[in-house]
Amino acid sequence: MSGADIRRAAADLLTLTLDSRRTLDDAMMTSQVFNTLEGSDRGFARAIASSALRHLGWIDTALAPLLSRPLPAVTAPIRALLRTGVTQLWLMDTPPHAAVGETVEAAKGWPEARSGGAFLNAVLRRADRERPDFARMSPLGIWPDWLMDILVSAYGSDGAEALAKAQLTEPTLYLTPKSDAETVAAETGGMAVPGGGVAVPTGSVEDMDGFASGDWWVQDLAAMIPAHLLDPQRGDTIVDLCAAPGGKTLQLAAAGASVTAVDRSAPRLRLLKENLARTGLKATVITANADEWRPPEPVMKILLDAPCSALGTLRRHPEGAWIKREAEVARFPAAQARLLDAAIDMLAPGGTLIYCVCTPLPAEGIDIVEAALATDRVVRVSVTPADVPGFSHAITSSGDVLTLPGGDSDHDTFYISRLKKA
Ligand SMILES: C[S@@+](CC[C@H](N)C(=O)[O-])C[C@H]1O[C@@H](n2cnc3c(N)ncnc32)[C@H](O)[C@@H]1O
């Protein structure tokens, strides 16, 4: 494949994410042009798109003075090629002649972009001469204004900046071992870390030792905490609500618990079933709306990983900042409160419920839990340092866990609360 094909594929991934509002993973699965690439070409196209999405607010701000019309007024294919070109020039080690030349070539082979070749050439040449100094730009500028505003109002400028800086850093790939972390570390060339995960060098997951044999699955370190806090034991009956694609179901099942995994999305449950089959673990899988579904009898342990804005995983999915809308984010708390109420209904007296969301927004985390506590149907069981090896710094003054970035931390942001039925 030619260098132009790689740029065309990267631009296609950008239009699918930013203009069709798909996730990058989904775009990579559906883009025909991306799927003609193999090996390192595929890796390079993905790296360009991923870097563009990670830094998009900065890129668009720096592009604006180079254009005679606003970026949104440029057609989608040319806009994607512009972003593809400047990402190579400003953020990657691509030699300028290749970044400009191959991106302009890509336009020539793309009927909807062909007429913009000369414009693209002129802007990219100027972008090569007039390079922005991203180090002097506020990290908050990588986000759309609405997102910056809600994070600044929740955490102040410094806290929001820490979240933005976390997004600017390539996240480590972590595996959750089915049984022994040291064995998985030896098998994959990784390193066992406190909390039970294994940090591995980034690469093709399917090609790593132990993938096909199901010895591990990919899961962020912070995402391992909720299942740990439920203290799953052999013989426990556990209901895992909002379970797909199943990272936490696998953890609970690997501990020997009898798990019922409930999710309303059949396609996502297909992934959960694939994960169970690959790892040889067992769970009862139910497609249902957890607002309405009830177990045959109340259970002692429930995990509710509620649907959320997922703003705590932007470092892995930076496109989330651009494909989500403020109004959608505002709708989550009502759904979360309903689901927590339903989960409390399913819980036996004295039973334990873990509520978690992968977002730093208090409206989706502590506010939901405080409202449930105010009904007196549940009490909080404060998390202790011994409960969360490697994460004692994340225990909040109210006894929950909030894994905000800080120092040399390298994990997603989760809010987790442990509740007991009164
Ligand atoms: C954060 S994801 C769950 C991730 C999963 N627990 C894991 O560890 O892989 C939230 C899930 O909630 C599901 N969901 C959203 N609303 C639901 C509802 N009312 N009933 C059941 N599942 C729901 C979504 O389909 C999605 O799979």
Q: Give residue 312's pLDDT.
A: 97
Question: Could you report the predicted ipTM of this complex, rounded to two decimals?
Answer: 0.99
Q: Rounded to two decimals, what is the model's pTM?
A: 0.94
- pLDDT by residue for the chain (422 residues), tens only, comes to 799 999 999 999 999 999 999 999 999 999 999 999 998 999 999 999 999 999 999 999 999 999 999 999 999 999 999 999 999 999 998 999 999 999 999 999 899 999 999 999 999 999 999 999 999 999 999 999 999 999 999 999 999 999 999 999 989 999 999 999 999 999 999 999 988 999 998 778 888 999 999 999 999 999 999 999 999 999 999 999 999 999 999 999 999 999 999 999 999 999 999 999 999 999 999 999 999 999 999 999 999 999 999 999 999 999 999 999 999 999 999 999 999 999 999 999 999 999 999 999 999 999 999 999 999 999 999 999 999 998 999 999 999 999 999 877 899 999 999 999 98
Write the single-letter amino acid at 278.
R
pLDDT recorded at residue 15? 97
Quote the ligand 1 centre to 307 CA distance (angstroms): 5
pLDDT of the residue at 422: 86
- Ligand 1 in reach of 289 Cβ (< 6 A): yes
Q: What pLDDT sits at residue 167?
A: 94
Catalytic residue positions?
358
- Index of the ligand 1 atom closest to the CA of residue 289: 20
Distance 254 CA to ligand 1 centre (A): 20
From the CA of 265, give the closest atom in ligand 1. Answer: 25
> Residue 408: its pLDDT value, please?
78
Ligand 1, atom 2, residue with closest C-alpha: 307
Name beta bridge partners: 198: 175, 192
Ordered by where they begin, the domains of the chain are 3-136 (1.10.940.10), 139-168 (no CATH), 220-421 (3.40.50.150)
